[in-house]
Amino acid sequence: MDERNQTARERREQQHNRGLRFPRGPLGSRFGLLWIIIGLIVFYNVYALLRPDSSGPQPEVAYSSFVQAVERGFVSQATIAGQTVEGQFNQPLRIANGVVYFPDEPLPEAVAGSAVREVTRFRTVIPENTQPEVAQLLQEHGVLFSARASGGASLPSLLLSVLPFVFLIGLLVLLGRNLSRGQQNVFSFGRSRARVYDVERPQVTFADVAGEEEAKAELAQVVDFLKNPAKYHRIGARLPRGVLLIGPPGTGKTLLARAVAGEAGVPFFSVSASEFVEMFVGVGASRVRDLFERAKAQAPSIIFIDELDAVGRQRFAGLGVGNDEREQTLNQLLVEMDGFEAHTDVVVIAATNRPDVLDPALLRPGRFDRQVVVGLPDKRGRAAILRIHTRGIPIAPDVDLDALAAATPGFSGADLANLVNEAALVAARRGKEVVDRSDFEEALDKILLGTTRSLLMSEEERRLVAYHEAGHAVVAYFTPGSDPLRKISIVPRGRALGVTVQAPEEDRFNYTRNQLLGRLAVLLGGRAAEQLVFNEVTTGAQNDLKEATQLARRMVGLWGMSEELGPVYLGLGEQHVFLGREIVQDHSIGTTTLDRADQAVRRLLDEAMERAERILREHRAELDRLAELLIAEETVGPEKIREVLGEQPVATVDER
């Protein structure tokens, strides 16, 4: 697979190096040569008209002035063509209104001014049947003359006569092209904008996807059907029409769909659900029909619809009016997936991170009857993802990808790819040839904590921040079952003046009540330290209070962990997509119950505050030492934290 990707990449680079692309427009179109010819003709004729000694049209002179000029010896050469005589003076002469004024003649006052110009060439019309007399006149005065057949035209005159027709033809061609292009846009308005990935292009396979082994095993059946459809048709089996990939953003849903197409070797139609919806009603439905027709024509094939919730939301959910265009598009999608016409060789794969808002008709058997959960990878999956993303990057021997995977719980595949890229950027900025451990640590801090800011804080502010972060750290260190401390810093990062970082030793998918109560105490440890040391509170605890309140509301309203209400689900703390749901749910809960829930939330927060204050009073000496160390060094790692705080209590089974 790597060799195939490398070969395709080299082929693209060679084509790019030897290929010259001209800018689009008249010169780059098929009629570019026509426009060049027209431009040259216009330039030549303008130049011929403006040049004084050009061979273009000469000024007209009266026949009598021509005869006088010949008799006085001012004509050097002439050409007789029918009744026209063209020639050249042996010196510039003045001419006005067809009359030639010789050097020894004064100009009349009536013609003096702008009407007079000097010329060296002339043209005149002689009377009919006087060519012999004119020729004799020229011969008697020693003028070199010639004759040509009448009816001939000079090249400039010919070009001037043809130019309007050429320009008109070019204008008609241009207007025809614009008209045909406009008609094409009008007729293709309802066509699908799906991008087609051919089987001949470099493909993504399951080898390029890590951390989602269960999802890959589920999709392997789809791959086998697309490779060998006859095997399933013989026994009457029918593959699910649709496969819905559900998971948080960045977990690799789109990558999995492309891997299915790469493994199966079939055409892959990729489209975003938002591209179906337009301002005009019926356009989205037309695009859905066109997409499925194109997919059927190349069956077996795969249709991938990203962000399905953009078009598949529940019809008329919540308050307000519905969206006719989106609902018609959804109806057409429902018909195409399970209508009267069967198309068993077209598989629809869709991705969404909000399955709760989808219309129930989409999720019934016969449409998206398979739902594949693409969750966040575990520690082993994160290590495999890091190995994939570091394939083409020189990594130093001191980089432990397994340890890095353990330090990034909750990271998705996109987050890990960003981490590797940020580490490479840090190494390149430092002028290194390889990416070492310090580059990954700085990149991880930048992603988790934000970019460092150069704020000039006073000593009093630095002391406040140091005790605030030390309060979080001391409560976390002496709370059994709390996550280990990884770093404490009072360097401003992002919107925070200081940070206390905790990293679990292993992935957690379920939390006990005691662990959540300990988390509440850790969140309020900074505020408790401010009250204990300075007998004052600051605005620095805003985010801590917000997280603690949300956690307490979930404990009471979602997880039934309060003594006042017991094991009751109230839906408090949930994020509702539709306003109507929240209003209806609030009315389904009595005011007395809501008041008791508020009292339970307040009690949990008060008990967590008392617990944090008790721990800080018992370990006041450790709090002061850690705060002074932070003021001196600004950033403290896990080794120095253990050195300052001493032995950490071990959690018992009940506490966990």
User: Crossing angle, helix 591-618 and helix 513-523, to 10 degrees?
Assistant: 70
Reduce the secondary structure of 87-117 to three states and give it as a string: EEEEEEEEEECCEEECCCCCCCCCCCCCCCE
d(CA 221, CA 391): 29
Distance of CA 621 to the CA centre of its chain: 53
d(CA 467, CA 628): 9
Which among 103, 418, 125 has a CA at the least distance from the CA of 249? 418
Q: What is the token pair recorded at 652? A: 């018992």
469 is catalytic: yes
d(CA 314, CA 320): 13
Beta-bridge partners for 391 = none
Catalytic residue among 212, 469, 613, 622: 469
Which among 326, 306, 329 has a CA at the least distance from the CA of 317? 326
Distance of CA 529 to the CA centre of its chain: 46
In 10 A of CB 120, how many CB atoms?
A: 16
d(CA 636, CA 640): 6
d(CA 103, CA 209): 96
Burial of 19 (0-12, 13-18, 19+ CB in 10 A): exposed
Report CA-CA distances (Å) from 595 to 395, 591, 601.
57, 6, 10
Give the dihedral sign, CA 623/624/629/630.
positive
In 10 A of CB 7, how many CB atoms?
A: 11
d(CA 477, CA 615): 10
Reduce the secondary structure of 169-192 to three states and give it as a string: HHHHHHHHHHHHHHHHHHHCCCCC
**Which amino acid is residue 336, in one-letter code?**
E
| Residue 97 backbone class (left: φ over 0; alpha: ψ -120 to 50; beta: rest) | left
DSSP label of 149: -
What is the DSSP secondary-structure string of 356-408?
A: GGB-HHHHSTTSS-EEEE-----HHHHHHHHHHHTTTS-B-TT--HHHHHHT-
**Which amino acid is residue 49, in one-letter code?**
L
User: Crossing angle, helix 379-389 and helix 413-429, to 10 degrees?
Assistant: 50
d(CA 448, CA 426): 15
DSSP label of 589: S
d(CA 119, CA 134): 22
In 10 A of CB 504, how many CB atoms?
A: 15
d(CA 267, CA 250): 24
Distance of CA 381 to the CA centre of its chain: 28
Residues annotated as catalytic are 469
